[in-house]
A and B are shown apart, each in its own frame.
Chain A
Amino acid sequence: MQTRFTEDELAVQDAFRTFFANESPSTVVREAERAGGFSADLWNGLAAMGGPGMALPGSVGGGDATLCDLAVVADVYGAHLAPVPLVEHAVAARLLATIGGYDELVVELANGGSLATMALRPLVDGIARFVPAGAVADVVLGHVDDGIVLDRSMPPGDALPNTGGLPLAHRRLANNLISVDHVAWSHAVDEWRALTAAAYVGLGRRVIEMGVEYSRERIQFGVPIGTFQALQQGYADASTRMEGAHLLAHRAAWALETRQPDASRLAGIALLFAAEAARFATDRSMQYHGGYGFSEEYDVQLYHRRATAWILQLGDPSLEYARLADAEFGPVDGGKAA
């Protein structure tokens, strides 16, 4: 049992914290948003650090890091709202490496020369709608009845204008079946869930931190607003939920990495809880910023919009609850619960 980061994990955290703090300040996030939600400079910088391939096998030029390490990076990435699809890319590349037979492509993905993603929603008539990073990825993996398809094509560049300023796009995927391993697909989506949960923790903790900093500076009624207990109680609640989410997200990553029997369940749980906790945290922080929080100028709105958007890439959260319910209690079938 080790419920705090190990020395190695702390070293990873440190390196990426410095990188994102320097290379992904909110000016970069804002600029990228105007350009469709992606910063090529940031991606190249990340590639120079070995970020895109860190959790791929060394044999294909990867860094041999674990999913647990990746979750540490996802946390930092979330804290800075980094406008690069690190989570989608890492998960898709790992899936392709698992499927095997695409070493040359995986090498490209490891060094960041190519950008991969997963179409999280099932394909309809060859079209994947709302593909995360679909606007910028030249490698898209999708799930069809028969298995997993691989599409390599020029990304459209333009994103669908959306709440979170994310590089979302619809993509037509080539009918190029590369695997019939449905379990591998589910495992990859679970990795996405766990890593996105970790990113939500970074986001939620940071938005609380920003709010607490602001509460020291903003004076009303002659005192800093941070002395008002209403703010303290709200931030304490939000912070408690974020810490709970933190323990869940990394437990899920550990469970997936070590193939625990409840890994998939934990990944689903971690995402739902972390998303809701982070949305609560952004709501509190915006509220306690007062009117300025709502203004374009303050960063809290960037966090608020992304907290809303990230989980919706997977669909209505109710469907995620329903999915977990089916696994726990059996599906509702023909009017009868199994």
Chain B
Amino acid sequence: MDFSFPPEAEAFRQEVRDFLATNLTEDMIEATHDGTMHIPGLHRAMADRGWLAGPVPAALGGGGRSPLESVILNEEMQLARAPIDAMGVTVIVAAILLEHGNDHLTQHVVPRLLDGSSLACFGYSEPEFGSDVASAKTKAEQDGDGWLINGAKMWTTMAHIADYVLLLTRTDPDVPKHKGLTFFLVPLDTPGIEIQPVPTMAIERSNATFYDDVRLDDAWRVGDVHGGWSVMKTALKYERGIAGGQFPSPPVIDAALDWAQTHTRPDGTKPIEDPTVREKLVRALIDVEVCRGFAYHCADLANEGVMFGVEGSMTKLFASESYKRHCRDFHDMMGAEGLLTHESADAHLGGRIEENLRHSPVTTIYGGTSEINRNVVAEGHLGMPRAR
């Protein structure tokens, strides 16, 4: 084996670090406290450098940069605390459109997604179906040359700032669930769409979106009629491969180390002198190296054109579960002081650990729950029988 990066990739890492050092400011990160995990200025600056188009395969008209560079970009952004949510989703939607979309979508929409002028969001989950997303029942019916859409989606994160939603709909209720699905890219300013905020226990907000007699031209259809599941597979492939989320822990560990070295406990000692604290810090650093191994492995597979599935699930499962553990450990370490939120002037480093603690539970839920990812590993990697 060989875990070295080619010189171009190392140079790219340095370029990203330099870029973030100048373009990502504390004020920008501060602004995400309104609940929207997106920094428009940063997004556009990245688009200007061609970094949004970078990970999209060249054969499909993207930047065709090596997946090793995508993972580096994700890693460095997460280490620098830059939100990657909206960027990740927009890039994935562009890649899906390039693989499954018609001329209208690839020629008129994709360029706007990749040049930073438009954003897209995912509309898969519904009030009644999350893990079992293939049971989605938001309805699309043929209406003359076009379509008529009715239904409701839950957890349409970023819909309130996005221009498009990639919508999973049911076009045939009378066939097995995977065979009656069709995808559309729906402009969010189409009449009949309503967006309502869904606040969460963390700072981030999501949305519920409602579709009431939404009329759509057939040009907005993505992939074949009833061919939605094959589009979904592409979506999941990119989501667990390119989208990131492998490095949520380092900023928490940085903050924990800072606290451990600077805080004085009532008995006059510092947490960093406590062997239990030291062991927890080392365990967290070990977990980060495991995530690195997984992330680089996925990138290497993608680089060689190997379609990965199980590896993406393992990465997501391990990164999110260990992140949750790190947040709990270091929040505990801070005792009552750790309870202070971002609003408190006394909160350590702007309440970073508290904020991560409250965010962390969702990471093992969204993007495929841990249970679903374990099912994927049990079936796909261990060859165990399908349990559902």
Contacts and interface: CB of A to CB of B under 8 A. Distances in A.
The finding on whether chains A and B are genuine partners in a shared complex, rather than unrelated, reads yes
Interface in B254-281: 257, 260-261, 269-270, 272-273, 275, 278-279, 281
Given A244-B294, A325-B282, A232 B378 contact: yes
A150 B298 CA distance: 45
Contact of A240 (B270, B279, B314, B385): B314
Given A1-B68, A329-B278, 20 more contacts: A1-B299, A2-B1, A4-B300, A6-B1, A9-B1, A68-B1, A236-B373, A236-B374, A236-B377, A244-B290, A247-B294, A247-B297, A251-B1, A251-B3, A321-B279, A325-B275, A325-B278, A325-B279, A329-B257, A337-B273
For chain B, which range describes its interface: under 10, 10 to 19, 20 to 34, or 35 or more residues? 35 or more
Contacts of A332: 272-273, 278
A272 interface: yes
22 contacts: A1-B300, A1-B303, A2-B1, A6-B1, A208-B382, A212-B383, A226-B384, A232-B374, A233-B378, A235-B378, A235-B384, A236-B382, A243-B311, A244-B318, A247-B293, A247-B297, A248-B290, A272-B286, A321-B278, A325-B279, A336-B273, A337-B273
B66 to A, nearest CB: 9
B289 A226 contact: no
Nearest to B385: A227
Per DSSP, are chain A's interface residues mostly helix, strand or loop, or mixed?
A: helix
Contacts of B273: 332, 335-337
A227 to B, nearest CB: 5
Interface residues of A, number: 51
Contacts of A258: 4
Given A1-B296, A254-B1, A337 B270 contact: yes
B272 A329 contact: yes
B283 interface: yes
Given A2-B300, A227-B387, A251-B1, A266 B289 contact: yes
Give the 4 A-B CB pairs with smallest separation, nearest first.
Answer: A247-B293, A236-B374, A232-B378, A325-B278
A336 B385 CA distance: 55
B291 to A, nearest CB: 8
Contact of A1 (B5, B279, B371): B5
B233 interface: no
Interface centre among B5, B260, B273 (most CB of A within 10 A): B273
Interface string B183-196: 00000000000000
B343 interface: no
Interface string A222-241: 00101111011101110111
A243 B297 CA distance: 10
A328 interface: yes
Nearest to B66: A1
Contacts of A233: 371, 374-375, 378
A324 interface: yes
B285 interface: yes
Interface in B300-347: 300-301, 303, 311, 314, 317-318
Contacts, number: 149
Contacts of B388: 229
A336 to B, nearest CB: 7
A32 interface: no
A3 interface: yes
Interface of B: 1-6, 68, 257, 260-261, 269-270, 272-273, 275, 278-279, 281-283, 285-286, 289-290, 293-294, 296-297, 299-301, 303, 311, 314, 317-318, 371, 373-379, 381-385, 387-388
Interface centre among B290, B311, B388 (most CB of A within 10 A): B290
Given A239-B377, A332-B273, A3 B300 contact: yes
A328 B282 contact: yes
Contact of A254 (B3, B281, B290): B3
Nearest to B387: A229
B72 to A, nearest CB: 11
A318 interface: yes
Contacts of B4: 1, 258
Contacts of A254: 1-3
Nearest to A233: B374
A255 interface: yes
Nearest to B371: A233
A3 B378 contact: no
A337 B278 CA distance: 11
Interface string A1-45: 111111001000000000000000000000000000000000000
Given A1-B2, A9-B1, A239 B290 contact: no
Contacts of B299: 1
A49 interface: no
Nearest to B261: A337
A154 B314 CA distance: 49
Contacts of B378: 232-233, 235-236
